[in-house]
């Protein structure tokens, strides 16, 4: 079975349990079960694999949220209670209770936040440092930017989550999950939702 989560910048594949990303789809003449938030990349996939199946037409999900993205739906689909954080180009935070999606938030991703400092001033042209202790007061500009930028995300998640279980996924999910004791990182969380959709519909 080949699954594909088409994001804003990459094709994310799960081929027989092997996870990999591509900027351009290299798989040809294979049936692929997919979801997508990018029309141009969807057309690229279908041109190479015209028999591929769009799972968004089959998914069942309990939410009153208007316009909830299919990637967020699949990330939340196998979680019955807790907060789901998908940390990619954007960071989405969704709250699930008793298998019902209550709502959620969309924030810029860490790279987008980091890049925004450079647009303010060339003096703020620093990359986020990897090791951050939010209990320590920053003592230089690089630390100030790193603690400020990452801290915005961490505080948002903390205020939303309270004592709920946190489920992280996405490229920056591993990094962010380390700041919370009640968290778990699930690399294939979106694909788990896709597999459940396939099973529910006997596809």
pTM for the model stands at: 0.91
- 8-19 pLDDT, tens digit per residue, is 888 999 999 899
Is 188 tagged catalytic? no
pLDDT per residue as tens digits for the range 42-67: 999 999 999 999 999 999 999 999 99
Q: In which residue are the tokens 């349990």 written?
A: 17
Composition of the chain by helix, strand, coil, percent to 5: 35, 25, 40
Backbone angles phi, psi at 187, to 5 degrees: -60, -40
Q: Which one-letter DSSP state was computed for residue 109?
A: -
User: Average of pLDDT values for 27-54?
Assistant: 94
Candidates 5, 71, 86, 94; catalytic one? 71
- Work out the number of other CB atoms within 10 angstroms of the CB of residue 44: 15
What average pLDDT does the structure give for the chain?
Answer: 94
């Amino acid at each position: 079975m080949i699954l594909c989560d088409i994001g804003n910048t990459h094709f994310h594949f799960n081929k027989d349990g092997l996870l990999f990303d591509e900027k351009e789809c290299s798989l040809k003449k294979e049936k692929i079960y997919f979801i997508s938030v990018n029309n141009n990349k969807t057309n690229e996939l279908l041109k190479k694999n015209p028999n591929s199946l769009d799972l968004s037409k089959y998914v069942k999900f309990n939410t009153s949220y208007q316009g909830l993205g299919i990637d967020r739906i699949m990330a939340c689909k196998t979680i019955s209670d807790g907060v789901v954080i998908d940390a990619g180009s954007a960071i989405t935070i969704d709250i699930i209770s008793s298998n019902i999606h209550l709502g959620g938030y969309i924030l810029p991703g860490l790279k987008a936040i980091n890049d925004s400092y450079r647009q303010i001033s060339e003096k703020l042209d620093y990359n986020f440092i990897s090791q951050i202790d939010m209990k320590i007061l920053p003592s230089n500009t690089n630390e100030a930017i790193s603690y400020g930028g990452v801290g915005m995300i961490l505080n948002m998640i903390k205020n939303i989550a309270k004592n709920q279980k946190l489920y992280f996924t996405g490229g920056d999910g591993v990094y962010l999950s380390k700041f919370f004791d009640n968290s778990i990182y699930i690399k294939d969380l979106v694909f788990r939702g896709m597999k459940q959709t396939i099973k529910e519909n006997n596809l």
